[in-house]
Chains A and B, each alone.
Chain A
Amino acid sequence: KAGVTQTPRYLIKTRGQQVTLSCSPISGHRSVSWYQQTPGQGLQFLFEYFSETQRNKGNFPGRFSGRQFSNSRSEMNVSTLELGDSALYLCASSLALQGGYTEAFFGQGTRLTVV
């Protein structure tokens, strides 16, 4: 069974540009969530999608957005990039069982560097 796949693995962008990251969840998983990991802030929740709907959103500016497609694949977009957006972006998928008692499976992440 294939794991969570994130593309690209590495990305270098210039300030002011925008970027789109992609995540393919484990087959059958309908919940996809995104996290930003930085040395200073640790792992912070960005948003979670379930069946193409955003269910939860973390405390990030509107420059960070996402979407989920009917096949559960998800993308996140960051517009007007800032140096502080440099981070490892992790995607996680889960079965999203009733009651939420289910683990998340993480991808390898996309390392975004903004110069």
Chain B
Amino acid sequence: AQSVTQLDSHVSVSEGTPVLLRCNYSSSYSPSLFWYVQHPNKGLQLLLKYTSAATLVKGINGFEAEFKKSETSFHLTKPSAHMSDAAEYFCVVSNTGNQFYFGTGTSLTVIP
């Protein structure tokens, strides 16, 4: 069975400070893991993906995530938040059938 748990439903940071969005996963297989971002009234945009290569994955807009098998975690980080980062973020795990399991989302607020 596949599932993800996003540990925070809301995260608030000041502009220019680091961002940490937490995700734990459960998977019967060696998982594919993704982070997607959704801006208001928009579709989902892929930030980054882990597919069993390097454990530290770099994505777009300065985001990165580290796959930690021992902790079953895939936390998303960014060194310095920008106002445009305010959005909903989803951690996603995929099985081999291209079915994607979404976390409940983390709403990121960036305070000027």
Contacts and interface: CB of A to CB of B under 8 A. Distances in A.
A108 B42 contact: yes
Given A33-B99, A50-B98, A101 B32 contact: yes
A90 B88 CA distance: 15
A84 B29 CA distance: 34
Contacts of B44: 90, 92, 106
Interface residues of A, number: 27
B46 to A, nearest CB: 5
Contacts of B45: 106
Nearest to B103: A42
B34 interface: yes
Contacts of A106: 36, 43-45
A66 interface: no
Interface string B84-112: 00000010001111111111110000000
A104 interface: yes
B80 interface: no
A107 B44 CA distance: 7
Nearest to A104: B100
A55 B32 CA distance: 18
Contacts of B90: 43
A25 to B, nearest CB: 12
A106 B46 CA distance: 9
A56 B96 contact: no
A92 B100 contact: yes
Contacts of B75: none
A96 to B, nearest CB: 5
Contacts of A101: 32, 51-52, 94
Contact of A104 (B42, B98, B104): B98
Given A45-B100, A94-B98, A109-B43, 8 more contacts: A43-B105, A44-B102, A45-B101, A99-B96, A100-B32, A100-B95, A104-B34, A106-B45
A105 interface: yes
A31 interface: yes
A104 to B, nearest CB: 6
